[in-house]
Amino acid sequence: MGRVVKRAFRYRFYPSDAQAAELARTFGCVRKVYNLALAARTEAWTVRQERVSYNATSAWLTGWKKNDELAYLNEVSSVPLQQALRHLQAAFVSFWSKRARYPTFKSKRTSRRSAEYTPSAFRYRNGQLTLAKMFEPLAIVWSRPLPVGASPSTVTVSQDAAGRWFVSLRCEDVIPETTVTGAVGIDAGLDSLLVLSTGEKVTNPRHERHDREALVRAQRNLSRKAKGSNNRAKARLKVARVHVRIADRRRDQLHKLTTRLVRENQTLVIEDLTVRNLVKNRRLARAISDAAWRQFRTMLEYKSNWHDRNLIIVDRFPSSKLCSACGALVEKMPPHVREWICRCGTHHDRDLNAARSILAEGLSVAACGAGVRPHGRTPARGSRC
């Protein structure tokens, strides 16, 4: 037996010209409907102090389709349009719950191009996926098999900035139960991407720095092209390809790293890093963004949930200056000091000591129930035991 979870399996596919044209029309209609609904809901609130529900926006969609200027909305499947309204409703719920900012309009140039289909708008049979308004199945590269007997609940089609097409199938999967007893503290950094309380240091690959020269050349070439020209479009595509290569390598490394940590340990403790504030440091912003601490935490959270692991997120504290042996706190420690000796005589590696302090802090506050933020909930502040 194992845990049944919902997982998304992402594959690349190569559409025909007709399929690409149909998907491009769908992306445009999804963006249009989302923006129309957002504008109408914003006006309803600012003018009449009225909160609009999903059902009301769905009724608006029916009226928009009868408008001669928006008649083209009838040319695509109605399901992705309804899903766009559901996504807008979810965005407002997050805003009302103070988990996110106010929803913003989708841009043709910068917003993600995607459309979501429910089972009524696609057919999945014998390993072939056919979307509504299409006569042929998508040419998908099945890089890994779907779970045996899987029946996708939703299908999301997207196109990235480099022009690559992807399809994501969300279905149930069984995660085998494994029994492990290890506990590890994890300190995120820049010299080393991660330092574990076990003594292991994970090298920071610095993906963006390795491709920076190629990125600079591509961006310089883009700046020389006339706006609106075909050559500028080609140059923009080259810049996007460098960016996606960096992102793909970073994501692949983080997936392998987080999977290993979750499989080897029952309890994982990390520090709550406010990345949004840290990147305000102009000298370190690029390096911090390249390290992708937030992405690492997100992966660790959902994989810990899949495998029934204990992920403890402690509030920030002076972990580097706190002796993991005796608990003494050093008043000052400049960033260039990488090793130090405590008054108890213990010789510390700065980052390793921080990882061990984080582990001790997480285990202690987990037992006391103070200062812990499991899976992003608001911490209960209080003194330690």
Residues with catalytic function: 187, 271, 351
- The long-range contacts involving 214-222, CB below 8 angstroms and separated by at least 24 positions, are 214/242, 215/239, 215/242, 215/243, 215/246, 218/242
Q: How many CB atoms lie within 10 A of CB 223?
A: 10
Q: Give me 253's structure tokens.
A: 């490394």
Question: What is d(CA 339, CA 351) in angstroms, rounded to the nearest whole number?
Answer: 9
Q: Give me 318's structure tokens.
A: 């002076």
Question: What is d(CA 99, CA 224) in angstroms, rounded to the nearest whole number?
Answer: 41
Closest CA to 116 of 153, 68, 151: 153
Q: How many CB atoms lie within 10 A of CB 66?
A: 10
Closest CA to 19 of 76, 87, 84: 76
Closest CA to 155 of 180, 138, 177: 138
Q: Give me 349's structure tokens.
A: 């590696």
Sort strands 122-125 and 128-131 into parallel, antiparallel or unpaired: antiparallel
192-196: strand order across its sheet: 201-203, 192-196, 183-188, 267-271, 310-314
Tell the residue number behind the tokens 């000091």, with chain if given. Answer: 337
Q: Are 137 and 130 in contact (CB under 8 A)?
A: yes
Phi, psi of 153 (to 5 degrees): -90, -30
Question: What is d(CA 262, CA 177) in angstroms, rounded to the nearest whole number?
Answer: 12
Phi, psi of 98 (to 5 degrees): 65, 30
Question: What is d(CA 293, CA 194) in angstroms, rounded to the nearest whole number?
Answer: 10
CA contacts within 13 A on the Cβ side of 280: 4
Helix (H, G, I), strand (E, B) or coil at 270: strand
Q: Give me 52's structure tokens.
A: 């609009």
